[in-house]
Amino acid sequence: MDDKDEDIDTFDPNLPEEGPSAPPPGWLDSVLGYEEHMGGDCTDQICPPPPDFVPKPENDKNASVPNVMVPTVSEDVARDALLQFVGKKWTYSSKPAKNLIFKELKPFTIYRYRLETFTESRSSAWESEPHTGQCVDGPQNGVSPPPWQVQVCYPPKFTDSVQKIRVPHSSFIKPCHQCHGDGKVRCRHCRGRGLTRCMFCHGSGHSRNRRCTTCHGRGRKRCVSCHGKGDKGCLTCNGYRNLVHFIQLTVAWKNQVFEFIPNRVPEFPLKKFEKVSGEAFFVDENLRVYPIEGFPDREICDASKGAIQNHLLKYSAVSRILQQRQTIELVPLTHVYYAYSGKDYNYFVFGRENKVHTTKYPSSCSIL
């Protein structure tokens, strides 16, 4: 566009203003089985599972647990664990770990209870894409299946996953609501005129009693947003004028996990157990698991009963419970007491990985 063209007002009264970003109420058709999306509501709607999808609890059922031996840690293992720990701390010397004198190794019985509830939830929402000539699977091909009858590919159990599926026979073509089927919209920046007020002279054409050198005294400049055309291509339909609307089903699989460890050793931080594994000596997996009874640690029994009841109430109303699994692990924990240079110290060795936790170590150095 040359200087003369910058004086031309390109306003076209027939060019539509930009419409709403979402279809207005009543714009979209109703689809049988998805009536919650009335009038084109594009928000994600939860689809509760049908009643026959909810597992029914059986009264007076429980799970029994076998007895288990408490694991022990030898002095060699305890020393090696401390040496590995010290090796990762550049301010610690390995000399105390090599020369310490063990006084007592005290093992603890630490149980970790875990309940996993593998759930499937389904939600639906209106989606759209430009119609570029692709085939449209609409109601002429049949009735759309209800949300929980749409076929999906299931992931491995107890793994999180999400799938998005276009509901069969829910698609149809409508003019683009953003540009009203025109393929382009009036530029908001210049209001369709192709020109904007010069920012340097504020539209006066003069600056400091001189002709503005930026707009050459015109007071207006070519719109940088639409390059002086007064219109812009519609970003919703990409200029194709029509949209294909369809219902998109989002299927989410989630492994809901509850963990509980009784606080048997107050001086040891429970959060440390999150980073280590234990020996799983009890694994109970089924569509529905039942509270553990008869286990020596009553807190584990109470945790099992409460967690199972909570998961059933919390997740069955909005999702489908596909499988449950409860485990009890024996997590090794040994309190090591030792002496070095006439002073007493202690540390913990925990987990199958023989991790170390200590709040005080005999010898540390600092860089001056």
Task: Note the pLDDT tens digit of each residue in 13-59.
Answer: 777 676 666 777 777 777 877 876 655 556 678 888 888 776 666 65
* Predicted local distance difference test score (pLDDT) of residue 175: 93
Q: What is the pLDDT of residue 367?
A: 39
Residue 231 structure tokens: 């219109």
Q: Tell me the mean pLDDT in the region 203-221.
A: 83
Residue 343 makes CB contacts below 8 A (sequence gap 6+) with 362
Highest average pLDDT, of 69-78, 110-119, 206-215, 358-367, comes from 110-119
pLDDT recorded at residue 252:
97
* pLDDT, mean of residues 184-199: 88
What integer pLDDT is reported at residue 169 of this predicted model?
95
Q: Is the dihedral of CA 229, 234, 239, 240 positive or negative?
A: negative
How much is the pLDDT for 99?
A: 93
Tokens of 65: 């647990």
Look at residue 1 in the predicted model and tell me its pLDDT.
43
Q: What is the DSSP letter of 50?
A: P
Instruction: Report H helices in the chain.
Output: 75-87, 95-99, 298-315
The confidence score (pLDDT) of residue 53 equals: 73
Q: What is the mean pLDDT of residues 166-184?
A: 93
Q: What is the DSSP string of 293-337?
A: -S-S-HHHHHHHHHHHHHHHHHHTTTSEEEEEEEEEEE--EEEEE
* Band of pLDDT at residue 310, cut at 50, 70 and 90: very high
Q: Is 279 left (phi over 0), alpha (psi -120 to 50) or beta?
A: beta
Average pLDDT over residues 162-171: 96
> Looking at residues 88-94, what average pLDDT do you find?
86
Mean pLDDT of the chain, nearest integer: 87
pLDDT digits (tens, 9 = 90+) for 230-287: 899 999 999 999 999 999 999 999 999 999 999 989 999 999 999 999 999 899 999 9
Whose tokens are 């600056």? That residue is 207
Task: Say what the pLDDT of residue 27 is.
Answer: 73
| pLDDT score at 9 | 57
Lowest mean pLDDT among 193-207, 226-240, 287-301: 193-207
Q: How confident is the model at residue 167 (pLDDT cuts 50, 70, 90)?
A: very high
pTM tops 0.85, yes or no: no
